[in-house]
Amino acid sequence: MKHLVLTAAALGMLSVAPDTTAAQLFDRMSNPKVTVTINHPPGLGLPVNQLAFGPATGRRSDEIVDALQADFVRSGMRVLDRRNLQNTLAEHQLNYGGYVDQQTAVQMGKFLGATAMIVVDVSRAATERQPTSTKTTDSHNVVHTTWHSRTKAYLKVSLQTIDLKTGQLFQAEVFDRNAEMENTVEETCCAEYPSEFRVFDLVVEQVVGEVHRLFLVWSEPQQLYFFADKDCRMNLAYDLLKSGDTSGADRQSAENIETCRSTPNINDKQLAHSYYNVGLVAFLEGKYAKALDYFEQAQKVKDIGITTDAMTQLRRAKQASDDLRAFEARRAAALNPAPAAATGVDAVATAPQATAKDSASPKGTPAARLKALNEVYQQGLITKAEYEKKKAEILRDM
């Protein structure tokens, strides 16, 4: 049997506004959550197709670089083999010692084929063990001792990024993180200490995750409520959502609004829930304008804290989507630059056979435009409605 436990803070809230706060607490306790994914562009905003790691410095720095490299490779990023870097630099009579001026950086980019270089400096990499104990007294006034064996890890890393296309030197990013694990034993001293290697791996994972967000598109899951009320049959929409039928949940949620409107004695709260659900399903589908419209309609019917939270996350998702789309456009332009116009004999020899329609379109042939559009849609950067509209425009140009 489940019991509702209210904290002191929650009880204090109830004393101020018992009806409203209790209702919102009940909504949060009694309704399920669904995961909405927010996709973000890389934090540096640097279009990268291949990375190189410069010489690393500091204790355990090679271990950090290996972990970063493994993460990049798993994510589909090309990483230049570190063992060949010095040989390649030597072949071009360059000796990289930690500082690169703008001109040298651009030269390195040309013959390395990389678009960015990362330089790692570890200023702290340490572990320590801490033994402690706590005493408690039971109901029979007997003192019991619990022995704690705690292992901590500390890592401070400075990461410098060099854009090898422009020579731009980004401001160093500093990551100062720690992690700990603990084993306990009752009465008899002492517990075994957790492995220092395992704990240090945890702190390395923290740093790797943050560096990942600097260079790669990353996803942020958010847990938002879905109203699964039996009133107005909103539970049917949730069942469809659980089964993965988002389109079905969308249709059912829209029907739930009409059911609420036509059912006698349905209160504003239930009607607001039905509007909210349509907005949340639209949020899941990336239809941000529709989602905001229904969230706002829900708030007009009845002000609900859950809806306010969802609107906040929706605005974040919309901004992240816009930023990601802009980043993808910059990356496409940077990594696939338009070829320089040919002249004279070369122009005759290399010019493609283009039709009048193709020549009039700066974006290329309809087939190429359709392919590019499909790639953008598959990456989730545009909605299905936007995809169909643009597709129709391209087909009309053929």
Domain ranges of the chain: 18-39+222-321, 50-216
> Which residues are 157's β-sheet partners?
122, 175
Q: 138-142, 164-168, 290-294, 301-305 — which one is most confidently predicted on average?
A: 290-294
Q: What is the pLDDT of residues 351-395, one digit of tens each?
A: 344 343 343 344 457 667 777 777 666 655 666 667 677 777 776
Which residues have a Cβ under 8 Å from the Cβ of 91 and sit 6 or more positions away?
none
- Helix locations, 302-383, DSSP H: 305-335, 344-350, 356-360, 366-378
Q: How many C-beta atoms surround the C-beta of residue 263 within 10 A? A: 13
Cα separations (Å) of 241 from 30, 227, 259, 274, 387? 17, 11, 19, 14, 23
Q: Collapse the DSSP code of 129 into the 3-class scheme (helix H, G, I; strand E, B; otherwise coil) and give the result.
A: strand
Q: At what angle do helices 305-335 and 288-301 cross, to 10 degrees?
A: 170
Which residues have a Cβ under 8 Å from the Cβ of 232 and sit 6 or more positions away?
256, 257, 259, 260, 263, 266, 270, 271, 273, 274
User: What percentage of the chain has pLDDT greater than the value 90?
Assistant: 60
Pairing of strands 116-137, 143-163: antiparallel
Q: Name the DSSP letter for residue 233.
A: G
Using alpha carbons only, how large is the chain's radius of gyration in Å? 29
* 199-203 average pLDDT score: 97
Q: Is the peptide bond before 190 cis (omega within 30 degrees of 0)?
A: yes
Q: Which of 20-24, 215-219, 270-274 has the lowest mean pLDDT?
A: 20-24
* HSE-up (13 A, CA, CB side) for residue 190: 13
> Do the two domains 18-39+222-321 and 50-216 of this chain adopt the same fold?
no
Q: What is the pLDDT of residues 226-269, one digit of tens each?
A: 999 999 999 999 999 999 999 999 999 999 999 999 998 889 99
Where does 50-216 sit in CATH, by number? 3.40.50.10610
C-alpha 247/C-alpha 378 separation (Å) is: 18
* Model pLDDT, residue 390: 76
* Model pLDDT, residue 338: 57
C-alpha 125/C-alpha 143 separation (Å) is: 39
Cα separations (Å) of 58 from 161, 171, 208, 365? 17, 19, 17, 53
Average pLDDT, the chain: 83
Q: At what angle do helices 366-378 and 384-397 cross, to 10 degrees?
A: 180
CATH superfamily of 18-39+222-321: Tetratricopeptide repeat domain (1.25.40.10)
Q: What is the pLDDT of residues 316-339, one digit of tens each?
A: 999 999 999 999 998 888 777 655
List phi, psi (to 5°) of 20: -65, -50
